[in-house]
Structure 1
Amino acid sequence: MNNYFNLQIGEEEKEKVLANIHSSISFSGANVWILACAIIIASVGLNVNSTAVVIGAMLISPLMAPIVGSGFALAMFDFALLRKSLKNLLISTLIGLLVSFLYFLLTPFKEAQSEILARTSPNIYDVLIAFSGGLVGVIAVTRVEKGNPIPGVAIATALMPPLCTAGYGLATGNFSFFGGALFLYAINCVFICIATYFIVKLLKYPSIGFVDAKREKKVRNWITFITVLMIVPSVFFAYQFIQQQRFQEKVKLYVQKEFESKGNTIVYQKTNYTSPATLRTIELAFLNKKFTAKEIEEENKKLEGLGLPNTKLIIRQDSAFLAEASTKKIANNEVDNARSALISDLNSKVARYSFQTDNLYKEASSIFPELTSISVAKQEIFTKTDSTTVIPVGFYQSEKPFTKENEETLRKWLEAKLKVDTIEIYRR
């Protein structure tokens, strides 16, 4: 039974593992080029919101080597290796910030996409991912057969995207993004290092030289201090994240129950979740439903009873905003099928029964000065055979009746102008 949990089975020789660690932590030559290219790829992926590109950057990034090297150095009290690992980690971090900062400074497209937003709010779950990923990574590093875990660890722990997001925050002057992304990067670095420390201790890698109990205790105290320093704010952020998710669920239930279940089509919805001490808002706009000030006030009174205290409902009803929101909704196929079909049918009827008549009167009156008004349309004609015919019809007004010659000239001009084979002309 003990063999199931025995990490010595399949373990690589310790000397070979340490030799690989020493050779991989150096950032010079090819490693610097690989790092810079990985940063550019990750920045482009974040910029265009491509998950596949971001994953590709994670896989080729060499950032994890100095972090694992730091964990080995702490566990073995190899302070020369620790200094070298931390120095190279600092250099690679600064290169990452600089290259991503320059990319986002120069790119014309600076909108924060979901791939960027996902790296700005770390919490305790990121600690668990980093620690678990670090455990898997260092176990794989110490195996004779490395297997598949290494690429998976690179994707799970995601060192490159938060570093590039921090560069985005610097380039755009958004220091909350910069701080959140850099904290996520720090969480990943610290807990991969701590996970490495535990596995190296478990595998009983030998200490470098003599280490007294006092110095060993000092190292453990620093590890504990840094761990607590990372975990405490992460737990707080996780609590905020859970509260926000609960708020969003309550908003979704409220909107569905009070509006969508009654047949109202929502063309715009925005929820602003802030700290409990600050007023939160729910913004809605409807396709055709109009609310009075009293109805909006009554809806706001319902919110606290539905578990949404300190929240204000704002209903946008200005026509310009509604037109823009409706257009976007239709373009994104978010309006229900029945309404989409109705809109499509109306558009086709408008196209069937109308003409493009820009400058029609201006041009006609230059030919016929006595003309006072003119209008054209396509008229549907019904017959006994239950079939219909659509014919172009024109109506005009003039100071005095047109002669037959003038009316014929007007008819021929309209046929050429409207590009039709024939048109009926009548005086109103």
Structure 2
Amino acid sequence: MKAPNRSMFVIKRFLKEYLDLRKDKDNELATVESIRRGVEFKGANLWILIFAIFIASLGLNVNSTAVIIGAMLISPLMGPIMGIGLSVGLNDFELMKRSLKSFLITTTFSVATSTFYFLITPFTQVQSELLARTSPTIYDVLIALFGGLAGVVALSTKEKGNVIPGVAIATALMPPLCTAGFGLASGNFVYFLGAFYLYFINSVFISLATFLGVRVMHFHRKDFIDKNKERTVRRSIVFIVLLTMCPAIYLTFNIVRATIFEQKVNRFVTEQLNFPNTQVVDQKIRHRGDTTEIRVVLIGEDVPEASIFIARNKLEDYGLVQTKLLVVQGMNNNGVDLSSIRAMVMEDFYKSSEERLKGQQERITSLENSLNSYKLYDELTQRIVPELKVLYPSVKALSIARTIETRVDSMRMDTITLAVMKFSSKPTQSERDKITEWLRARVEAKQLRLIVEKD
């Protein structure tokens, strides 16, 4: 019995040694004050947010990921969200009121700014970066949760590092707000609700992560002299938390359920609608009351109705209960979603073009490097000639070039520098060695071979 106890002791000691957060914990008051400062949104902070929203909206409009990332690095949007989580963890009702007020102000200004931009911009086409912010998935929830945990742990350590900008990028709070503004500007309330839904979920789970971090690291809660006031504050905080978390929990449950359902549909389509000489070009899921319809577009040879009937009978085997399968075949069928097919073709064309351009760019870079090496030796030769006239008056001509030498016996290839020199009278072996060493140092060549000719 001693061996298992000893093993458990060693494991506990190991975990305590490497996973204890309190070793790197900064002064608690400094951490709390740092988060408190980020809560306030007045003057410069608010203007920075407005400019960042403009930049993010531009990035979404022109489909530039780099511009969107830059805007997220600028934005100070994380402050009020982390402040809400901190206030719950510390039982600080005043901080909660300030954080919620700032959160509402920042959200309102962000949506208003992005709406204004998309109302005046001449570019109205919906880009892929905009579409990506209209429907949250379970991955967005997990990213927000773990990103928030990383943020609060980083803020509580002595060496803050660059974690907070990384959390701001990973959790992507700004793009959904800009997409919500686009939805309002274009009158597309589906986009607005989907994007705002994503923003709300991210905000709630970042706050939840901050709350968990504060409790795990045992931050001191706010003490009240008046116990009645303390009870009132706690009840108020619990009420606000429940008011916020209940919709978030319900929405997250729906996200998880939708993600699991989509995985089942993808597995069903991959395994049961995989026919020779036929390809699935589009699939969509439509919910209609208690039933769900899977609409699949096939291109290529027509699949017999009997095969489709067999696939329909296997829907329940994949957990797709009360689900209908609609298969669209033939390019002349009016049910074919040509816009989806066109988008897929354009995406494939873009990818192939991008790969081809990348290959051409690499080849151009290689040729430019080779050309630069030739130019380098031409310039070196011109600079060396005057020095050679002084050091070796018998030199009549000089040529320097880089070449590849291949060993016949082993096929080994080496890059060497050749120097061909013509003399009015051939130098001695000792002079050749000196000239070789001088040239090697002068042209900075690892391997240099001197060829001597008599003029």
Q: Do Structure 1 and Structure 2 share a fold, with TM-score over 0.5? A: yes
CA distance in 1 between partners of 2:120 and 2:330 (Å):
36
Q: Percent identity?
A: 39
CA distance in 2 between partners of 1:93 and 1:136 (Å):
23
Partner secondary structure for residue 274 of structure 1: strand
Amino acid at match of 2:134: T
Aligned match for 1:273, one of 247, 270, 285: 285
Deviations 1:40-96 (A, max 9, x none): 222222223333322222222100011122222233333332222222211111111
Relative to the length of structure 1, the TM-score reads 0.66
1:332 to 1:6, Cα distance in 2 relative to 1, 3 A? closer
The corresponding residue for 1:229 is 247
Task: For 1:7-22, list aligned pairs within 5 A.
Answer: 7-22=21-36
CA distance in 2 between partners of 1:147 and 1:327 (Å):
42
The corresponding residue for 2:67 is 53
CA distance in 2 between partners of 1:331 and 1:64 (Å):
34
Q: Confirm whether residue 175 of structure 1 aligns to residue 183 of structure 2.
A: no
1:44 to 1:331, Cα distance in 2 relative to 1, 3 A? closer
Preserved CA contact (<8 Å) 1:123 1:235: no
Amino acid at match of 1:305: N
Q: Which 5+ residue runs of structure 1 have no aligned equivalent?
A: 337-428
Relative to the length of structure 2, the TM-score reads 0.62
Alpha-carbon shift at residue 304 of structure 1 (Å): 0.2
Preserved CA contact (<8 Å) 2:141 2:201: yes
Deviations 1:212-249 (A, max 9, x none): 36336422454345333312221122211221232134
Alpha-carbon shift at residue 160 of structure 1 (Å): 0.7
The corresponding residue for 1:164 is 178
Aligned match for 1:303, one of 311, 330, 333: 311
CA distance in 1 between partners of 2:253 and 2:343 (Å):
42
Q: Confirm whether residue 121 of structure 1 aligns to residue 129 of structure 2.
A: no
Alpha-carbon shift at residue 148 of structure 1 (Å): 3.1
Q: Which 5+ residue runs of structure 2 have no aligned equivalent?
A: 1-12, 353-455
The corresponding residue for 1:214 is 231
Partner secondary structure for residue 282 of structure 2: strand
Q: Confirm whether residue 71 of structure 1 aligns to residue 90 of structure 2.
A: no
Q: Confirm whether residue 243 of structure 1 aligns to residue 261 of structure 2.
A: yes
Task: For 1:12-411, list aligned pairs within 5 A.
Answer: 12-201=26-215, 202-207=217-222, 209-210=224-225, 212=227, 214-215=231-232, 217-218=234-235, 219-220=237-238, 222-224=240-242, 226-255=244-273, 257-258=274-275, 261-262=276-277, 269-275=281-287, 277-286=291-300, 289=301, 291=302, 297-298=305-306, 300-307=308-315, 310-318=324-332, 329=345, 332-333=348-349
Amino acid at match of 1:215: T
Alpha-carbon shift at residue 165 of structure 1 (Å): 1.6
CA distance in 2 between partners of 1:253 and 1:82 (Å):
51
Partner secondary structure for residue 310 of structure 1: strand
Range moving further from structure 2, 167-176 or 245-254: 245-254
Alpha-carbon shift at residue 127 of structure 1 (Å): 2.9
CA RMSD of aligned residues (A): 3.3
Amino acid at match of 1:279: E
CA distance in 2 between partners of 1:72 and 1:331 (Å):
44
Partner secondary structure for residue 23 of structure 2: coil
User: Aligned pair count?
Assistant: 323
1:281 to 1:31, Cα distance in 2 relative to 1, 3 A? same
1:117 to 1:223, Cα distance in 2 relative to 1, 3 A? same
Alpha-carbon shift at residue 146 of structure 1 (Å): 0.2
CA distance in 2 between partners of 1:224 and 1:173 (Å):
32
Alpha-carbon shift at residue 312 of structure 1 (Å): 1.4
Partner secondary structure for residue 41 of structure 2: coil
1:7 to 1:221, Cα distance in 2 relative to 1, 3 A? farther
Deviations 1:333-375 (A, max 9, x none): 59x9xxxxxxxxxxxxxxxxxxxxxxxxxxxxxxxxxxxxxxx
1:6 to 1:72, Cα distance in 2 relative to 1, 3 A? same
Alpha-carbon shift at residue 115 of structure 1 (Å): 2.4
Preserved CA contact (<8 Å) 1:27 1:88: yes
The corresponding residue for 2:364 is none
CA distance in 2 between partners of 1:323 and 1:127 (Å):
33
